[in-house]
Amino acid sequence: TQLLEQSPQFLSIQEGENLTVYCNSSSVFSSLQWYRQEPGEGPVLLVTVVTGGEVKKLKRLTFQFGDARKDSSLHITAAQTGDTGLYLCAGAGGTASKLTFGTGTRLQVTL
């Protein structure tokens, strides 16, 4: 069974601070996806990383895929209140198309 553990589970910071969310597994994934989920809504894709060591940037968000394709991180620079939400990582393994979701990190950014 593939498991993805996210840390921290909860994070409360002030606007302007930087933060990093981690997504770790003992399993290798062919790709790692990051989603953001609002209450009562479905996950919305932020980014997909495919190659070990890959780094992708989306405005103030930086995503990295570990060299061994077992872990990933999401770094937010100068957080804003609009970044508040639940961040989920999800791994796709081999040729199987199902996603294994992480445990989630709930981020709250306050003024």
Which residues make beta-bridge pairs with 110? 14
Q: How far is CA 11 from CA 14, 60, 61, 89, 104, in A?
A: 10, 17, 16, 16, 11
Distance of closest approach, residue 19 Cβ to other proteins, in angstroms: 21
Q: Is the dihedral of CA 10, 15, 19, 23 positive or negative?
A: positive
**Cα distance between residue 64 and residue 60, in whole Å:** 13
Distance of closest approach, residue 106 Cβ to other proteins, in angstroms: 11
**66 is a site residue for other proteins (CB under 8 A):** no
**61 is a site residue for other proteins (CB under 8 A):** no
For other proteins, the binding residue among 11, 23, 61, 90 (CB under 8 A) is: 90
For other proteins, the binding residue among 7, 30, 77, 110 (CB under 8 A) is: 30
**57 is a site residue for other proteins (CB under 8 A):** no
Tokens of 73: 């991180």
**Rule CB under 8 A: which residues touch other proteins?**
29-31, 33, 35, 40-45, 47-48, 50, 88, 90-93, 95-104
